[in-house]
Amino acid sequence: MENTLIYDVLWETRVEGYFRYVNDILIVYNANLTDINEIHNRFNSISPDLNFTLEQKQADALNFLDLTIKRTATKMIYNIYKKPTTSDNISPSDSCHPSEQKLAAIQYFLNRINTYDLGHAEKQKETEILKQTVYNNKFHTSILSRIRNSRTKPDSENQRRRWAKFTYVGKETRRITKLFKTPM
């Protein structure tokens, strides 16, 4: 449907950009050439089982996935967007989950702060929120430095890395993966 009917609507209405991630769609268009309400109506007429909703920009800003995208006269500004229902719950440090799983959320949030094109103030704000989240979930905030430092160690150019994936079944999996991590 996306490659036929939806494509036809986008082509006929002169949409400049169409970006979809699962069920979230961002459409970029020129308001002088394209009527977004027409697109919305046509999308909803494609299939009775699908109901598209429309969220338009407000004050030149739009939320898409976990970003707020704001357009100024000269550039785009990005901020982290959190839905009103967002909480700071992650797997706490004292849970029985493998440490890789407990640290995954923290690594994701750190990566998001460091890779998104955020302003300095926004990065500081998000870092403080992450510190509070880490603390609220019984981690010591020094974990943030340890994760940052472990990711910035340069690999030797001569060192060749090989990857293996194991399904976690308990302590045995850790022992096996530890054997593979030990340099020969």
CA distance 165 to 66: 29
Six token digits for residue 172? 């045995």
**Is the pTM for the entire model greater than 0.85?**
no
The whole-number pLDDT of residue 164 equals: 67
Q: Give me the residue spans of the domains in the chain.
A: 88-184
**Strand spans (E) along the chain:** 17-21, 24-28, 61-64, 67-71, 76-80
pLDDT interval class at 116 (50, 70, 90): very high
pLDDT interval class at 48 (50, 70, 90): confident
Q: Exposure string (b/e) for 107-134, b if CB count within 10 Å is 16 or more?
A: eebbeebeeeebeeebeeebeeebeebb
**Which H helix or E strand runs over 77?**
strand 76-80
pLDDT digits (tens, 9 = 90+) for 66-82: 999 998 889 889 999 99
Can you tell me which residue has the tokens 């109506």? Answer: 41
Average pLDDT over the chain, rounded to an integer:
88
Do 104 and 58 touch, CB atoms closer than 8 A? Answer: no
The whole-number pLDDT of residue 167 equals: 76
pLDDT digits (tens, 9 = 90+) for 135-184: 999 999 999 998 888 765 555 544 566 666 777 777 777 787 777 776 65
